[in-house]
Structure 1
């Protein structure tokens, strides 16, 4: 009913984060976005290290890696739906360098700016949520504005700017696979750093793999799976395993491989 009345949930569950990118201001959100929560703590006038939020992100990353992006993120699902619209599809391999942009956004807009650019009482803005995040305008801004006349009356240039970002992202998602996830999402950047150590991972059987490249051609995240099965861009969707003619790729949930690497190193 919050969608009809232009309200957001303010229950105690809002102190808890969910793994994916979901806007705190969405009328349907029962819990908080980890990126928004992290900025709220960093930008507070009484700044303390965000132990809970960072600990939660490390736990989710070490457990799942970018499985969160593939299966638990509402905005990722939104892009998946848009990409199903019949239209010519384009590869992003030639602009792979843009995948590094999200790490810069994580460092600058999520951490550095909220910490350093503050007002007279020492509070910083949630720069990523406020100026970039298209999920916020889709899940929170637009539904609340449609339902609440007071909010509509206060809309200005920032709402227009964020709406343009959302529109651009939506159009790109029709032609390119998950452009926001690949290029802009700071949460995807963090989970990508965890991919190589996450318990949920891809495993390539070297005895079966013939390096035919079928898995790489099937991967819409532009990963050469047989070479780097746990690349930072892999969202564990399973398309590569389905495309492999030799059944050499499996999705596993184990720390065995990690232990083996440690033993080899020592």
Structure 2
């Protein structure tokens, strides 16, 4: 018998990423007018990293929304955001990073640009930086640095997030002379950050996701307990190492099927010669000894 067909999610991952990016930024005419969508959809957070200030944005960025109110006990919105992120983490884990995040998809597209490609295998310690970004820039500093209205200063959005300047500042400045005239040192700094991320994305696979993204760090905390998981059949596995060799997140799925860095991209499923790896949704062990 021939090999079973690849799971639909694996075969359609690129299309799903494109559709998620479009739905997240569905108000395309706003790019020409320089206006922001202000409807009820902005009260709901999208699952991936996507700037609230993007003219096309259909919803709010969970990181930006959380930072804006985390410093004040007078706002309940941060509790809603935290609850939503926990729910998404439990339901999907870093599947969101691999399938639903517009900025993650952009980095993958940039990596297709012909150039020498560099391995991040020896840079694994850098993956812990994103947890520091989550703790310091998203939680601690916005809690301490609040304005007269008691709202936290969005440190990550202002100083580090490349998606904000790509989706927000640049498109708005292109069509609004007032915004262009107000650009200053902060814009220059953020433009440099964006340029660095773009260059690194050409050379490395999804460097921002691996090393700096606080949203990815948050979802990573739920990878082992999320309902959407990877599963390895230990009877079928022949320890050939092909899955580890093709993993762009530097994970050996046979050692840890639901590693915090795994974004469920499915490359290991494609590479496995014995069909020992599959997706699973529900409760249970990450490894199975059942023959199938």
Q: TM-score range by the shorter chain?
A: over 0.9
Alignment of 1:1-266 (within 5 A): 1-44=29-72, 46-48=74-76, 50-257=78-285
Question: Which consecutive residues of structure 1, in runs of 5 or more, have no partner in the other structure?
Answer: 261-266
Provide the C-alpha distance between the structure 1 equivalents of 2:56 and 2:160, rounded to a whole number of angstroms.
21
Provide the C-alpha distance between the structure 2 equivalents of 1:44 and 1:136, rounded to a whole number of angstroms.
23
CA displacement, residues 20-51 of structure 1 (integer Å, 9 cap, x when unaligned): 00000001101111111111121458344722
CA displacement, residues 227-249 of structure 1 (integer Å, 9 cap, x when unaligned): 11100000000001110111110
CA displacement, residues 164-193 of structure 1 (integer Å, 9 cap, x when unaligned): 000000000001000000000000000011
TM-score by length of 1: 0.94
CA displacement, residues 39-96 of structure 1 (integer Å, 9 cap, x when unaligned): 1121458344722111110111111100100010010010010001111111101010
Question: Which consecutive residues of structure 2, in runs of 5 or more, have no partner in the other structure?
Answer: 1-28
Contact persistence 1:45–1:123 (CA under 8 A): no
CA drift of 1:104 comes to: 0.4
Secondary structure of 1:194's counterpart equals: coil
CA drift of 1:120 comes to: 4.8
Provide the C-alpha distance between the structure 2 equivalents of 1:216 and 1:210, rounded to a whole number of angstroms.
13
Contact persistence 1:45–1:121 (CA under 8 A): no
Summarize the Cα distance change of 1:121–1:27 in structure 2 as closer, same or farther, 3 Å threshold: closer
Secondary structure of 1:256's counterpart equals: coil
Provide the C-alpha distance between the structure 2 equivalents of 1:80 and 1:45, rounded to a whole number of angstroms.
39
Secondary structure of 1:250's counterpart equals: strand
CA displacement, residues 90-109 of structure 1 (integer Å, 9 cap, x when unaligned): 11010100000000000000
Summarize the Cα distance change of 1:156–1:45 in structure 2 as closer, same or farther, 3 Å threshold: farther
Secondary structure of 2:230's counterpart equals: strand
CA drift of 1:123 comes to: 3.5
* Count of matched residue positions in the alignment of Structure 1 and Structure 2: 259
Provide the C-alpha distance between the structure 1 equivalents of 2:208 and 2:119, rounded to a whole number of angstroms.
14
Contact persistence 1:215–1:239 (CA under 8 A): yes
Secondary structure of 2:221's counterpart equals: helix
CA drift of 1:154 comes to: 0.3
Secondary structure of 2:130's counterpart equals: helix
Provide the C-alpha distance between the structure 1 equivalents of 2:97 and 2:137, rounded to a whole number of angstroms.
20
